[in-house]
Structure 1
Amino acid sequence: MEFDEKPETAYIDSVESVAPTIDFSDIDEKAVMRKIDYHLMPICAILYLFAYLDRGAIGNAKIEGLLDSLDLSTQQYNICLTIFFITYSSLEMPANMILKKIGKPNVFIPSIMVCWGIIMTCMGVVKSFGGLFATRFLLGVFECGLYPGISYTLTMYYKKKQLQSRQAIFYAAASMAGAFSGLLAFAIAKMSGVGGYEGWRWIFILEGIATTLLAISAFWLLPDFPERAKFLTLREREFIVWRIATDSNAGNQLVQSLEDAGVKKAPDFSQFTDDDDISLTESLKRFLTDWQAYTCVLFNMGLMASTYGIALFLPSVVKGLGYTSSKAQLMTIPIYIAASIFSVAQAFLSDHHGYRSPFLIFDFSIVMIGFIMAICGEIYSLPGVIYAGVFLSVMCSYAAFPGGVSWLANNLANNGKRAIGIGFHIGIGNFGGAMASNFYKPGKYTMGHSLELGFATMGLICVIITVLGYRYNNTKRENELKSGKWDDATDKELFMMGDKSPYYRYRL
């Protein structure tokens, strides 16, 4: 299958239109996946790179004179950081529900991006605390739908065993944004005085204009969901829809050996490929009454506190080691480049081995070690130790995030439940970022590092609790099958139970 093959214009109305027993032996799966990677991953990564640049630009603007220019106190600055996370975090799950309802990521995502690009540009001309507060509030309102929306879109194209590597490539854009933002801010700050504006204003203005232009192009560059993806042929659309539907249902994660579980005959789930008859309201109810929603969101909250606390204050922390503002911007670049490379490499290992939790436990442990190093470096005035500790913490916190999102998505069977779950996991978890925006105070950063260490510890504990919960439920379901508890249930009933089916096994 070649990339330049002309796609057919017919679309698929629903998953039901794809026969579950259809023969796809003529489809070259690897070629189709390369085609999807080519059309989907670059634009998703670029969109998120710009989103991360925009939300983190305030950290670069701060060390270029933002506080003095607007006569802001440290408390007022932290309030402006926090208000972004309040709107951003609160609206991520509703945004994903809207996306699931309208079903057009190629319209929804560029539309909200145009709005926040305009808001970002306006941030460059604010004159007071009130203006900065209002623009940060609105930035959170419009930016909230990007990450969970793209994360959900990826689950509609990629099977579970392929998901984390794509999530990591997409999320690596955040790491690269960290490196790129320092270099970009270093260059843009040289424009101070142009048009009568300070350098920090040009950071907001130019990044906002670039975001708006990119968003307009995304109306044509970002693909729709696979059943209407114009770059795929009709046959390829049928294959992807069927492939994801069968991968996502309750039959995909059967106990590996039904014979060992004492099951004489496995249920036939191949006849069921569409769970969209489960309403969003029912999906929301199912998710909010699912124990894993809360353990996963707590470990993500611990992770987000570490990630955003560092992202917002890293230039200031590095500057506090004795470097000039410009040098501090440049010193952050190696940290983010290493984080980007490490997160992608780890994700491919995770997909290859089929496990998420061992890598998350490793990442949280290294994040904790990094903050302990930073605390000791602050106490004993060892700049090199502080820098090394922050380096480790950033690298592993960035690597852990796509693993956490993929882990939860892997263990949610219904499409609607998965869309809601991703939005909830990312959104509520980001409240950790809202809290972290108040962790660091001018001068010594010991207290900030200590609070980050506490949140990382909470995250590690919640990962371990989630693993134990998954193991317990897997064992319980196996015992129920052996006892014959579900022998009278029909295949349809078992399928509609989704990830609560006794045949469903949580991935570790």
Structure 2
Amino acid sequence: MDKQWYVADDCLEMSSLENSFTIDSSAKDDAESQNLSKRATKDLLNKIDRHLLPLISVLYLVSCLDRSNLGNAKHAGLAEDLHMTGRDDYNIAISVFFPFYLAVQIPSNLVMKRLRPSLWISTLMLAWAIVTIFLGLVKNYTGLLVLRCALGIAQGGIFPGIVYYLTKWYKRHEYGLRIAIFFSAEVAGGSLNGFLGDSIMELDGVCGLNGWSWIFIVEGLVSLCIAGVAYWRMHDYPDSAKFLAPSEKQTVIRRLDEDASELSDLFELEYVRNALLDWKIWMLMVITVGICIPLYSIGEFLPAIIEDLGYTDERALLMAIPPHAAACLFILGGGYLADKHRQRGVYIIGFCVLAMIGFAILGAVQNSAIKYFACFLVTMGIYPIVPQDVAWNANNIGGSTKRAVGIAMHIGFGNLGGAVAGFIIREDDAPRFVSGHGILLLITAASCLLTVLMTWYLRKENARRDRIYKSPDSYTREEKTFEAEKGDRAPFFRYTI
């Protein structure tokens, strides 16, 4: 009898060991499967990055160069040749661009939703390239203003179009970094804008045209060539991308469907109306205005501070590069961390505080070296906010039509800050710009406060939905489809905080 018990015990022990081995082996297989899946997903995203980001980064860079080359043209004699004698003639020429830039953004994104991105974005690029070339042939101030308005119309759809385009390739917490990448390319390239302008000005007198004319013509011709490349090389959506294998297309589409939570992809005017009436989008629009005013002001006060340090000409242009290079590092770092932690509000608040410290130093001290250091704080604080602010808005809009409109509203209205910046940092206040820096400090502080309030509200709303509704993961596909038309008001939708 005892012997039988020993045998039974041995059998039970062996069975337990076998079960333990089976469970451990299964867990090990699951872990290895997850690691393989993560590696495959990373490889797929890298493949998409290689085929999308270089072209759209170059495209966005040249769009920014073409709309900001008025400063180089002024330096090359534009104001004198066009008899711009009024005190604010130059600032008006800068600012008149922005209302038209704003007006076309919603219609442009709606058109792009119906057309292929490679067709629509390339056509917009072709249009602004032609306008830029004609700017080089303008003969009077009125003509300059008219063409600046036309440039705003042609370029208005580019930034919101690219952002919406990325949302059709990446999940919600993946495209913050991608927006940061192409935006950092513009910041880095923009710091070299002065060298580009000086180089083109060497054509002064060729074909009887002044140097400023050649700045517009050469840059317009470059944009024209890139537009041709974009028609040929820009990919539309994952289901038609030639660089993806059939299985990869299915994987991308599946990931996007899961991320979209079955929310509606239909084009209906009701979703346009929902975007126009969503107070959260309007709140972020106001926040962005408060960021864009300081952002556009950097180009107004940084050259004066560098000149105070004793640098001129090429050396002055070189001294403008380090603050922008530091900003690029923070843009990319902020984009990576915000996506990784799936939070944006806290990063925007931190960047606002950093910029506010910089503005406080700029307004309080007279030492030029310390003011130059403060410019690093300002650029490292202001520039990284833009891609995260844009991604934050896009993350929290449910449904593709509402998202297309909401992105356009946000970016368009926010860029009105560029129309105001020239009137805050004025040449008459140089070199200290005390009042201007004080205003920029208050504006940034206001955006910071609104971001705190928005973050608090989104946390509270997510907690309310967690309390009232079941977990988003527990909803079936049919349940999600039934609630699809509610967009970000659907009970299974959770906001990015």
TM class by shorter-chain length?
A: 0.7 to 0.9
Q: How is 1:276-291 mapped onto 2 (pairs within 5 angstroms)?
A: 276-277=265-266, 279-291=267-279
Question: Which of 47, 54, 57 is matched with 1:45 structurally?
Answer: 57
Query: What is aligned with 1:86?
Result: 99
Question: Which of 93, 96, 109 is matched with 1:96 structurally?
Answer: 109
Question: Which of 421, 434, 457 is matched with 1:446 structurally?
Answer: 434
Q: Secondary structure at the match of 1:28?
A: helix
CA–CA separation in structure 1 for the residues paired with 2:38 and 2:387: 33
Question: Which of 228, 243, 264 is matched with 1:275 structurally?
Answer: 264
Q: Secondary structure at the match of 1:161?
A: coil
CA–CA separation in structure 2 for the residues paired with 1:410 and 1:26: 22
Query: What is aligned with 1:499?
Result: 488
Q: CA deviation at 1:351?
A: 1.4
Gaps of 5+ in 1: 1-23, 250-272
CA–CA separation in structure 2 for the residues paired with 1:341 and 1:206: 30
Residue identity opposite 1:276 in structure 2: D
Q: CA deviation at 1:26?
A: 13
1:302 aligns with 2:293: no
Query: What is aligned with 1:430?
Result: 415
What do the CA deviations read for 1:303-341 (whole angstroms, capped 9, x no partner)?
Answer: 111112224664456446654344433322222222222
What do the CA deviations read for 1:361-389 (whole angstroms, capped 9, x no partner)?
Answer: 01111111212222224xx3x22233222
**Mean Cα displacement is larger for which, 338-347 or 310-319?**
310-319
Asked if 1 retains the 8 angstrom alpha-carbon contact of 2:288 and 2:410, the reply is yes
Question: Which of 112, 124, 128 is matched with 2:140 structurally?
Answer: 128
1:345 aligns with 2:333: yes
Q: Secondary structure at the match of 1:504?
A: coil
Query: What is aligned with 2:403?
Result: 418
Question: Which of 143, 168, 188 is matched with 2:200 structurally?
Answer: 188
1:385 aligns with 2:374: no
Q: Secondary structure at the match of 1:220?
A: helix
Query: What is aligned with 1:368?
Result: 356
Change (3 A) 1:311 1:297: same
Q: How is 1:52-91 mapped onto 2 (pairs within 5 angstroms)?
A: 52-72=64-84, 73-91=86-104
**Mean Cα displacement is larger for which, 283-292 or 142-151?**
283-292
Asked if 2 retains the 8 angstrom alpha-carbon contact of 1:56 and 1:311, the reply is no
Question: Which of 325, 328, 335 is matched with 2:323 structurally?
Answer: 335
**Mean Cα displacement is larger for which, 387-396 or 36-45?**
387-396
Question: Which of 449, 452, 456 is matched with 1:464 structurally?
Answer: 452
CA–CA separation in structure 1 for the residues paired with 2:283 and 2:140: 40
**Mean Cα displacement is larger for which, 464-473 or 494-503?**
494-503
Higher relative contact order (CA 8 A, sep 6+): 1
CA–CA separation in structure 2 for the residues paired with 1:460 and 1:491: 35
- Over the aligned positions, Cα root-mean-square deviation in angstroms equals 2.4
Question: Which of 44, 48, 52 is matched with 1:36 structurally?
Answer: 48
CA–CA separation in structure 2 for the residues paired with 1:312 and 1:197: 28
Q: Secondary structure at the match of 2:466?
A: helix
Query: What is aligned with 2:251?
Result: 239
TM-score normalised to structure 2 length: 0.85
Q: CA deviation at 1:490?
A: 5.0
Change (3 A) 1:398 1:26: closer
- Fraction of identical pairs, as percent: 34
Asked if 2 retains the 8 angstrom alpha-carbon contact of 1:85 and 1:433, the reply is yes
Query: What is aligned with 1:356?
Result: 344
Change (3 A) 1:275 1:146: same
Change (3 A) 1:138 1:317: farther
CA–CA separation in structure 2 for the residues paired with 1:160 and 1:400: 17
1:201 aligns with 2:210: no
CA–CA separation in structure 2 for the residues paired with 1:407 and 1:26: 24
Gaps of 5+ in 2: 1-35
Which is higher, the Rg of structure 1 or of structure 2? 2
Residue identity opposite 1:198 in structure 2: N
**Mean Cα displacement is larger for which, 77-86 or 125-134?**
125-134
CA–CA separation in structure 1 for the residues paired with 2:202 and 2:95: 29
Residue identity opposite 1:348 in structure 2: Y
Q: CA deviation at 1:397?
A: 1.4
Question: Which of 377, 381, 384 is matched with 1:399 structurally?
Answer: 384
Query: What is aligned with 2:166?
Result: 154
Q: CA deviation at 1:115?
A: 1.0
Q: Secondary structure at the match of 1:328?
A: helix
What do the CA deviations read for 1:228-274 (whole angstroms, capped 9, x no partner)?
Answer: 2222233322221221121022xxxxxxxxxxxxxxxxxxxxxxx46
CA–CA separation in structure 1 for the residues paired with 2:39 and 2:345: 33
CA–CA separation in structure 2 for the residues paired with 1:457 and 1:71: 39
Q: CA deviation at 1:37?
A: 0.8
Q: CA deviation at 1:448?
A: 2.8
The alignment of Structure 1 onto Structure 2 pairs a total of residues equal to 452
Change (3 A) 1:236 1:27: farther
